[in-house]
Amino acid sequence: MLSKRIISCLDVRDGKLAKSVKFVDTRDIGDPVEKAREYFEQGLDELVFYDITATSDKRGIMLDVVRAVAEQIFIPFSVGGGLRNISDCYAVLHAGAEKVNLNSAAVVRPELLLEASNEFGAQAVVLSMDVLRSPISAQIPSGFQIVIHGGRKPTGIDALEWAIKAEQLGAGEIVVNSIDADGTREGYDIELTRAISSSVSLPVVASGGGGSIAHIARVLTEGMADAALVASMLHFGSYTVQEIKNSLAKEGIKVRL
C-alpha cells in the first residue's frame, strides 16, 4: 500500500502568499518563498503553487516567484494558474516545476490535457478542479459542478463526468478542491472526494476545508483520497507537517516519516 501524502498549497497573488474563504475575502498572509522552505524542512511530501489571479487577469504566471520557490525545495513541485498552452507549461517546467497544474484552460479546451500528456508524460500533468455543490439536475447528475476562473464562472459541467474525461485525455492526477469547504477549516467534503476517487483510477488529492488532523485522517480513509492538501493549518501555525504525520501514523495511516 502506497503512503498517503501531505501536500501544501501556496496561493500566490501579486507575489504574496494569500488565503481566502470560499474563494472570497482574499488577504495577504506572508512570503511564499519563506513558507516553501519552512514546510520542506518540516518534511512536506509535495508542494503546489497557484498564481490565483493569472487566469482572471489574463496574464502569464509569475515565473520569478516560481523560480524562487523552486530554489528552496527538493520535493515534487507542481505549478498552476494562467497556463493556457504547451508553451506556458514549458515555461513553468523550465522555471523549476516538476508538474503542470491545469484548471480553467483545460475546461475551455480539454485537448490541452492530451497535448500536455503527450508532450511531458501523464505523471507531469495534474488536473485541478474547483467544485461547487449544485442542485442535482440532468446536466449535473452528481450535484457537483465545475467552476472556473478562480471560482468566478460556473460551467454547468458535472464534476464526476469531467474527472472521468480528464483521465481518458491523459491527466495523471486530480486535485479536487471544494469551494464550499475552502478556507473554512471545518473539514473536507468527504462525499465529493469519495465520489471522484471512486470514479477514476488516478491518484486524487483532497483540497479545501482541512482544519484538524481528524479531518485529514477522515478524508484519507472515508474519502479514499491518496493525499490531503493543507493550507490554513500550516500557514497560521496551528500544526507542523511533522505533527500531522506523527498523529496520522499513530492512527495506523501509512505516511512518510
Per-residue confidence (pLDDT) for residue 57, from 0 to 100: 67
Residue indicated by cell numbers 474525461:
165
Q: Could you tell me which residues come within 8 angstroms of residue 15 by beta carbon, excluding any fewer than 6 positions away? A: 32, 62, 64, 65
Helix (H, G, I), strand (E, B) or coil at 21: strand
Per-residue confidence (pLDDT) for residue 11, from 0 to 100: 85
DSSP string, 115-183: HHHHHH-GGGEEEEEEEEE----SS-TTSEEEEETTTTEEEEEEHHHHHHHHHHHT--EEEEEETTTTT
Per-residue confidence (pLDDT) for residue 27, from 0 to 100: 55
pLDDT-flagged residues of the chain (< 50): none
Residue positions annotated with a catalytic role: 11, 130
Helix (H, G, I), strand (E, B) or coil at 218: helix
**Reported pTM:** 0.91
Per-residue confidence (pLDDT) for residue 32, from 0 to 100: 85
Asked whether the beta carbons of 41 and 47 are under 8 A apart, the reply is no
Asked whether the beta carbons of 25 and 122 are under 8 A apart, the reply is no
Asked whether the beta carbons of 154 and 132 are under 8 A apart, the reply is yes
- The CATH number of domain 5-250 is 3.20.20.70: yes
Per-residue confidence (pLDDT) for residue 13, from 0 to 100: 78
Domain ranges of the chain: 5-250
Residue type, 124: A
Asked whether the beta carbons of 119 and 101 are under 8 A apart, the reply is no
